[in-house]
C-alpha cells in the first residue's frame, strides 16, 4: 500500500481488526519513510446478480441507486446513515442468497419497500410515491391500500 503522504510504495501494517460485519478489516498502517500513520479498509467483493430493467435491458447492480432512493425517502427522518447502510447491506445479503444470476428491478423495489415499511412507515410512503409514480392522490391512496405489507400497523 502506497503512503498517502509521501508516496512510498511499501508501508507496514501495525494493527488489523475485523469490523463488526465480519466482511471488512480495518488496518492501521505506518510509513517508514515519513512516519505518518493512516487507516485502510479491506472489504470482500461480492458478485451481485444482473438487474433486468422494465424495458428488458440488463445492467450491473448499482448500490448507489438504492442508496439514493432510500436517502430521499428518509430525508428529515431520524434514521442515521449507519442504519441506512445496514439496511442496504441486509438487502444485498438477501439478493446474494436468493438470486443466482439475475433479478428484476421490480423485485428490488418490492424488497426495499417491504423492509422500509418495517424500518419507518413515513419513509415507506415517500419511497412508494416515487416508486409507483402515480399521477394523482386517489390512485396513490388506492395503491397504498392494496400494496402495504403492514396495512394494520400503518392505519390506512
Residue 109's pLDDT is what? 92
Residues 101, 119, 150: CA angle, nearest 5 degrees: 90
- pLDDT tens sequence across 19-58: 876 778 999 999 999 999 999 988 877 788 999 999 999 9
Asked whether the predicted pLDDT for residue 128 surpasses 70, the reply is yes
Asked if 40 and 29 count as a contact pair (C-beta separation under 8 A), the reply is yes
Q: Is residue 2 part of a domain?
A: no
Sign of the torsion angle spanned by Cα atoms 9, 13, 14, 17: positive
Compute the CA torsion angle 117, 120, 125, 128 (nearest 10 deg). -50
State the chain's mean pLDDT as an integer.
86
Does 72 lie in the same domain as 16? no
Write down the pTM of the prediction: 0.66
Asked whether the predicted pLDDT for residue 2 surpasses 50, the reply is yes
Does 108 lie in the same domain as 140? yes
Does 133 lie in the same domain as 81? yes
Asked whether the predicted pLDDT for residue 148 surpasses 70, the reply is no
Into how many domains does the chain fold? 2
Does 60 lie in the same domain as 20? no
- pLDDT tens sequence across 50-107: 999 999 999 999 999 999 999 999 999 999 998 999 999 899 989 989 998 999 999 9
Q: What percent of the chain lies above the pLDDT cut of 90?
A: 56
Does 23 lie in the same domain as 62? no
Residue 152's pLDDT is what? 43
Amino acid at each position: 500500500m502506497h503512503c498517502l503522504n509521501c508516496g512510498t510504495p511499501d508501508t507496514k501494517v501495525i494493527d488489523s481488526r475485523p469490523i463488526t460485519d465480519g466482511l471488512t478489516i480495518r488496518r492501521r498502517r505506518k510509513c517508514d519513510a515519513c512516519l505518518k500513520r493512516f487507516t485502510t479498509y479491506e472489504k470482500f467483493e461480492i458478485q451481485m446478480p444482473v438487474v433486468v430493467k422494465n424495458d428488458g435491458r440488463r445492467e450491473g447492480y448499482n448500490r448507489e441507486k438504492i442508496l439514493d432512493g432510500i436517502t430521499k425517502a428518509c430525508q428529515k427522518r431520524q434514521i442515521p446513515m449507519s442504519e441506512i447502510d445496514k439496511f442496504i447491506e441486509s438487502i444485498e445479503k438477501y439478493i446474494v442468497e436468493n438470486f443466482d444470476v439475475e433479478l428484476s428491478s421490480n423485485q428490488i423495489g418490492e424488497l426495499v419497500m417491504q423492509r422500509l415499511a418495517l424500518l419507518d412507515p413515513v419513509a415507506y410512503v415517500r419511497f412508494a410515491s416515487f416508486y409507483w409514480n402515480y399521477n394523482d392522490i386517489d390512485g396513490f391512496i388506492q395503491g397504498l391500500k392494496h400494496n402495504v405489507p403492514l396495512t394494520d400497523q400503518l392505519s390506512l
